């Protein structure tokens, strides 16, 4: 496989962009080799600048649930662009997208559109603090909520593989109100709440963790968080940037039957464009300026092209409820292929899957939390990643990300992937 052009662009990029990338995981540091520079993507495939085409399981890290460049989404964006790219004034599309989101997630009575998941979470936390008049928050070790200062504490995603779970450049005073509990460990939450509960503004959680690989909530864990936050008058924030509109049209909150006070969304709601949102109970969201005293603003918030992509994507998903069953089946088939390989070859493999999100960890410990996730043999993952790439299949370039499946992956492509997974020869470079 020729990758000369990617390599050349990577060399040039490194001269002007730190590490040659605009988001660390893209640099392939966790798997070795140089990143592929992508020329275009269509449906379930991406093509690099050297002309190599791959079956894509990164799916832009989640947004491409319909596959890349869905014709209806592209057409909606083109139409919006022709009318102007940004106005910094209200539009009909913003309202329609907000209505669609509210309809899908009854816990969201009002919402604000922003540009990225990081911004959505940062704003939701500010609202929680403004509403409760409390400063502390609790997050979970290995959960990732974007790169705002107060949340870069024991974070997941590339913060995990680049060894900066606590980033330099974040003053200690910015994180002293961030308490860290253990995912799926009620006792650790209970302990913090007993000590600090009446000063805790919110507990924020990825309802299905998808930034330390995929880790499912244990039965009752999310319900426990709902109860304990109510008990102490704190808010429960579901970070559904990844799970929203992916686990089902109503997100993880619908799947697990839990109604959070605030929700953050991103990825799918922008249909591939930079768009995110935070929302929740009306009384809480009415704290946001200009109604209330919690300030949050943005020149490109509710951008016309991004909202057009989001509306088209959500309308397609809403009108095809069967897609979610198909995605679940595809996820199960891929998970089963990993399990079969593990059993047949006596390999240490733990497979976690929730709908179209999945991850195979190279460890013999069931993966329920951060510590079990990092017991995974990342060199083994790196070898598997390179093998899959050679087989024309593009996986996340890190053990600690999810494998994303889209509506565009055909049954044949899933079978082809399952075969490649099963046939993975155990080798190391």
When the beta carbons of 34 and 109 are compared against ligand HOZ, the nearer one is 34
- Could you give the CA distance from residue 143 to residue 118 in angstroms, rounded to a whole number? 13
Instruction: Please name which of 298, 250, 238 lies closest in space to residue 274, comparing C-alpha atoms.
Output: 298
Residue 426 is a catalytic residue: no
Which residues from 368-427 bind ligand HOZ, rule CB under 6 A? 401
Q: Applying CB under 6 A, which of residues 61, 249, 338, 404 lies at the interface with ligand HOZ?
A: 61
> By CB under 6 A, which span of 20-28, 43-51, 304-312, 355-363 interacts with ligand HOZ?
20-28
Reduced to 3 states (helix: H, G, I; strand: E, B; else coil), residue 17 is: coil
Q: Is 143 in the site for ligand HOZ (CB under 6 A)?
A: no
Name the catalytic one among 144, 249, 387, 400: 144
Q: How many CB atoms are located within 10 Å of the residue 420 CB?
A: 18
Reduced to 3 states (helix: H, G, I; strand: E, B; else coil), residue 70 is: coil
When the beta carbons of 157 and 177 are compared against ligand HOZ, the nearer one is 157
**Nearest approach, Cβ of 28 to ligand HOZ (angstroms)?**
11
**Nearest approach, Cβ of 165 to ligand HOZ (angstroms)?**
14
- Could you give the CA distance from residue 257 to residue 250 in angstroms, rounded to a whole number? 10
Q: Is 25 in the site for ligand HOZ (CB under 6 A)?
A: yes
Q: Is 157 in the site for ligand HOZ (CB under 6 A)?
A: yes
Q: Which residues does residue 209 pair with via DSSP β-bridges, in sequence order? A: 215
Residue 166 is a catalytic residue: no
State the Cα angle at 186 between 184 and 189, rounded to 5°: 105
Instruction: Show the site string, 211-250: x = touches ligand HOZ by CB under 6 A, - = not.
Output: x---------------------------------------
Rg (CA), the chain: 21
Residue 267 is a catalytic residue: yes
> By CB under 6 A, which span of 21-29, 35-43, 273-281, 348-356 interacts with ligand HOZ?
21-29
Instruction: Please name which of 284, 282, 236 lies closest in space to residue 109, comparing C-alpha atoms.
Output: 282
- Could you give the CA distance from residue 335 to residue 116 in angstroms, rounded to a whole number? 30
Q: How far apart are the first and last CA of the chain?
A: 17
Contact 210, 243 (CB under 8 A): yes
When the beta carbons of 267 and 341 are compared against ligand HOZ, the nearer one is 267
**Nearest approach, Cβ of 293 to ligand HOZ (angstroms)?**
31
Q: Is 264 in the site for ligand HOZ (CB under 6 A)?
A: no
When the beta carbons of 144 and 424 are compared against ligand HOZ, the nearer one is 144
Strand duo 110-114 + 276-280: pairing:
antiparallel
Instruction: Please name which of 257, 270, 335 lies closest in space to residue 307, comparing C-alpha atoms.
Output: 270
**Nearest approach, Cβ of 211 to ligand HOZ (angstroms)?**
5
The binding site for ligand HOZ (CB under 6 A) comprises 23, 25-26, 61, 157, 211, 401
As annotated, the active-site residues are 144, 239, 267
């Amino acid at each position: 496989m020729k990758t000369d052009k990617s390599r050349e662009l990577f060399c040039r990029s490194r001269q002007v962009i730190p590490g040659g990338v605009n988001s660390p995981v893209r640099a392939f540091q966790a798997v070795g080799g140089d990143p592929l520079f992508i020329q275009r993507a269509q449906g379930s495939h991406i093509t690099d600048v050297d002309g190599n085409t791959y079956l894509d399981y990164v799916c832009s890290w989640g947004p491409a649930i319909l596959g890349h460049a869905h014709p209806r989404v592209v057409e909606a964006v083109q139409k919006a662009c022709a009318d102007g790219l940004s106005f910094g004034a209200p539009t009909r599309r913003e309202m329609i997208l907000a209505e669609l989101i509210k309809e899908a997630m009854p816990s969201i009575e009002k919402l604000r559109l922003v540009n990225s998941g990081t911004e959505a979470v940062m704003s939701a936390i500010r609202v929680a603090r403004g509403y409760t008049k409390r400063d502390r928050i609790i997050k979970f070790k290995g959960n990732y909520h974007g790169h705002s200062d107060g949340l870069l504490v024991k974070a997941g995603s590339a913060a995990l593989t680049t060894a900066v779970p606590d980033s330099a450049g974040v003053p200690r005073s910015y994180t002293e109100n961030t308490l860290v509990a253990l995912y799926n460990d009620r006792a650790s939450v209970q302990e913090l709440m007993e000590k600090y509960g009446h000063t805790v503004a919110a507990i924020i959680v990825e309802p299905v963790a998808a930034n330390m690989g995929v880790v499912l909530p244990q039965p009752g864990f999310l319900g426990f968080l709902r109860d304990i936050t109510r008990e102490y008058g704190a808010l429960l924030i579901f970070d559904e940037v990844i799970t929203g509109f992916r686990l089902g049209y109503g997100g993880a909150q619908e799947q697990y039957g839990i109604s959070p006070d605030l929700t953050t969304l991103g990825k799918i709601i922008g249909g591939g464009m930079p768009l995110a949102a935070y929302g929740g109970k009306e009384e809480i969201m009415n704290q946001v300026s200009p109604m209330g005293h919690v300030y949050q603003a943005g020149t490109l918030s509710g951008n016309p092209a991004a909202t057009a992509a989001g509306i088209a994507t959500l309308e397609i998903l809403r009108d095809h409820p069967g897609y979610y069953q198909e995605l679940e089946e595809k996820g199960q088939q891929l998970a089963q292929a990993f399990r079969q390989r593990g059993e047949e070859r006596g390999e240490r493999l733990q497979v976690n899957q929730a709908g179209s999100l999945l991850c195979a960890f190279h460890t013999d410990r069931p993966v329920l939390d951060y510590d079990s996730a990092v017991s995974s043999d990342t060199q083994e993952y790196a070898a598997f990643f390179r093998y899959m790439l050679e087989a024309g299949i593009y996986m996340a370039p890190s053990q600690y990300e999810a494998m994303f499946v889209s509506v565009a992956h055909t049954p044949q492509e899933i079978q082809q992937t399952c075969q490649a997974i099963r046939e993975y020869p155990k080798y190391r470079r």
